[in-house]
Amino acid sequence: MHFRPLAWSLFVLALAPSLCSAGDISLFALFKDKAILKVDGARRVLAAGEVSPEGVKLVSADPESNEAVVEIQGKRQTLHLGVVISAFQSAARESVTLYAGSGGHFFADGSINGQPVRFLVDTGATTVALSSRDATSLGIDFKRFGRRSFSQTASGIAKIYILRLKQVSIGSVTLYDVEAGIIEGNFPTEPLLGMSFLSSFEMKREGDRLELTRRF
């Protein structure tokens, strides 16, 4: 499903753990930036930023407040010692409905790191993609935090920077730690909502209507 051909490719492989649906999760013990969780009865020791085999990521741990924040497929929840939660399984799946513009392209109002952005939906883009001009206006220090690479564009070889965005949102749906490519120059003319974001959704198109539904 390609809504718009992309004139360049971002040759990047995002290595991510295979996620499966976790069941009950409880917080067993807390340390500074580390926690011991029980996920479906299995004991998991995680440092902040690590992901369990069940797909549970420890975002933060604070022994002073006796709580930890975990994330499953971009959704966050706070755990408290001695309290068992079900890992978001009973929640209704989040969805966003988009409508094609006059040119047949789908646009989505959203944000990057809390800053408002209007995206062009592009399943031909490997990652969320921005021009260096847009990245600078959004306060993204891509030269400091990005990994430099190169990509073939319609105008030739372009310099790009690969990095992770803290959060990307459209509508009421937010994903965290999303891979992006920053392309030096003024193109693309609008940020592209590529597969590093869209792969977390089931996409159903009916005429000029596109429904994005979060995968569990």
Residue 58: CB atoms within 10 Å = 25
What is the DSSP secondary structure assignment for residue 132, as one 8-state letter?
H
Bridge-partner residues for 72, per DSSP? 75
CATH number at residue 202: 2.40.70.10
Residue 175: CB atoms within 10 Å = 21
Residues 149 and 79 in one domain: no
Residues 101 and 207 in one domain: yes
Residues 67 and 112 in one domain: no
Domain-located, residue 2: no
Residues 45 and 122 in one domain: no
Per-residue pLDDT of the chain (216 residues; tens, 9 = 90+): 545 444 333 333 232 333 344 568 888 888 989 999 988 888 899 999 998 877 889 999 988 888 899 988 778 888 887 676 765 544 457 889 999 988 899 999 999 999 999 999 999 999 999 999 999 999 999 999 999 999 876 677 889 999 999 999 998 888 988 999 999 999 999 999 999 999 999 999 999 999 999 876
d(CA 95, CA 33): 32
pTM attached to this predicted model: 0.62
Region of 185 (left: φ > 0; alpha: ψ -120 to 50; beta: rest) is: left
